[in-house]
A = this chain, B = another copy of it.
Amino acid sequence: MSKKLKTGVIGLGRIGQIHLSNLMHHMPDAEVIIASDVMEESHAFAYNLGVKTVTTDAYEVINHPDVEAIIICSPTPFHVPYTVAAAIQKKHVFCEKPLDVTIEAIQAAEKAVEDNGVKLMLGFNRRFDANFSNVRSLVEANKIGDPHILRITSRDPAPPPVEYLKISGGIFLDMSIHDFDMARYIVGSEVKEVFVKGDALIHPEIKEFGDIDTAVIVLTFENGAIGVIDNSRKAVYGYDQRLEIFGSKGMAKAENNTSDTLVRFDSDGGHISLPLHFFLERYETAYRTCLKSFIDCVLNDTPSPVNAHDGLMATAIGIAAMKSLTEGRIVQINEILELSHV
């Protein structure tokens, strides 16, 4: 292994641009050999950052002889094909979430990665947010005791266009999947059961294609803890990302981040700042820390901090959530896994 990790980036959309900028500016232990995107218009972004080679062909990135690790930021349907191809070429893989929306495809990727002895890390960047990783550290340090109740509030500032929602895979795999991963990460135990109550309170028309925009999700963990997630596609005051873990020894909660710490008082009341607007602002540092930890795990040959199993479980919870909503009952995660012969 070289001292600097030689990477190739597939996909130059919004997330791909974030990862590429971070690689060029903030990762002294990595370099970018090549990048790709099917849209030629996006190539200028990479050239301007100093990438020498940019192509429309993802496989040129995967097969490039100097490339040691692939950063996959393509649309979801290509995540598994590119992961498998990269693994066969003995390249390490960092892949955006979700790895896939089916259990079977995730398992295929997992097998390819294991068979070829390469590392796979998923971009569940919120685990690397200082607020949440510090809550996790408190749980690990037994400052909370046995976890009893987990609460996650996760609300977007505004819903995507209805056209996007139609192809999004539904709120659970598109939006809540981050919270499912967060729940497993914070509690440190597998989810056993899911129950969902939800509705389309913001855009009633999305019910037509079976989606919702407001949800309360109850999770039961193998260690006995109970979790509850509340999701909304539209919080008019901004991106609301908080969580709280309660246990036998105490409680810890992470509040929102704001652009400043101002408090202003006039005769009408006291006024404080809104949460940071959306994920680009809130998780700017987390994206960087997440990618850096992939580079570190490859260079130091340590286990991937977020592996295929994590991707599989997050997707399984998402599928179970949709089933619970549709059937109006508790769904066991094992039902989902067994359907797929896991």
In the bound complex, residues from chain B placing their C-beta under 8 Å from that of A251 are: 235, 237, 240, 264-266
Q: Does A146 contact B (CB under 8 A)?
A: yes
Contact partner of A26 (CB less than 8 A), chosen from B25, B202, B272, is B25
For A113-147 the 0/1 string (1 means CB < 8 A from B) is 00000000000000000110011001000010010
| Stretch from A5-13, A65-73, A191-199 forming part of the interface with B | A191-199
CB distance from A15 to the nearest CB of B (A): 20
A64: CB under 8 A from chain B?
Answer: no
Report A25-72 residues with CB < 8 Å from chain B CB. 25-26
B-binding segment of A92-100, A242-250, A290-298: A242-250
Determine which of B25, B26, B266, B270 lies in contact with A273 in the assembled complex, contact meaning CB atoms within 8 Å: B270
Interface members, chain A 208-241 (any B CB < 8 Å): 214-216, 218, 220, 224, 226-228, 230, 232, 234-238, 240
Most B CB contacts (10 A, CB to CB) among A130, A262, A263 go to A262
Stretch of A178-186, A253-261, A303-311 lying at the B interface: A253-261
In the complex, whether A328 has a CB less than 8 A from a CB of chain B is yes
Please determine whether A237 and B214 come into contact, CB atoms closer than 8 angstroms: no
Please indicate the chain B residues that have their CB under 8 angstroms from the CB of A232 in the complex.
148-149, 246
Q: Are A271 and B269 interface neighbours, CB within 8 A?
A: yes
Q: Counting chain B CB atoms within 10 Å of each CB, which of A227, A251, A265, A328 scores highest?
A: A265
Residues in B whose Cβ lies below 8 Å from that of A234:
248
Restricting to A307-341, which residues have a CB under 8 Å from any CB of B?
328-330
Q: Which of B226, B240, B261 has a CB less than 8 Å from the CB of A198?
A: B226
Instruction: Identify which of A134, A146, A235, A264 gathers the most chain B CB atoms within 10 Å of its CB.
Output: A264
Q: Does A2 contact B (CB under 8 A)?
A: no
Q: Is the CB of A262 within 8 A of B135?
A: yes
Q: Is A162's beta carbon under 8 Å from chain B?
A: no
Query: In the complex, what residues of B have CB within 8 A of residue A250's CB?
Result: 236-237, 264-267
Given contacts A155-B246, A201-B146, whether A269 and B272 have CB atoms under 8 Å apart is: yes
Chain B residues whose CB sits within 8 angstroms of the CB of A151 once the complex forms: 151, 153, 230
| Chain A: interface residue total (CB-CB under 8 A) | 68
Q: A280 near B: Cβ within 8 Å?
A: no
CA distance in complex: A237, B266 (Å): 5
Chain B residues, Cβ within 8 Å of A138: 262, 264
A195 x B195 contact (CB < 8 A): yes
Whether the pair B248, A253 counts as a contact (CB closer than 8 A) is: no
Checking B193, B216, B253, B330 against A226 with a beta-carbon cut-off of 8 angstroms, the contacting residue is: B216
Query: Across the interface, do B236 and A131 meet the contact criterion of CB distance under 8 Å?
Result: no
Contact status of A261 and B254, CB under 8 A, knowing A199-B224, A201-B224, A214-B149: yes
Nearest CB in chain B to that of A330: its residue: B328
Q: Does A165 contact B (CB under 8 A)?
A: no
In this assembly, does A88 line the interface, its C-beta being within 8 Å of a C-beta of chain B?
no
B254–A265 CB distance below 8 A: no
With contacts A149-B214, A224-B199 taken as known, whether A262 is within 8 angstroms of B270 at the C-beta atoms is no
The smallest C-beta distance from A141 to any residue of chain B, in angstroms, reads: 11
B261 and A252 within 8 A (CB): no
Query: Would B134 and A262 count as touching, CB distance under 8 A?
Result: yes
- Give bound CA distance, A146 to B153, whole Å: 18
Are B248 and A131 interface neighbours, CB within 8 A?
Answer: no
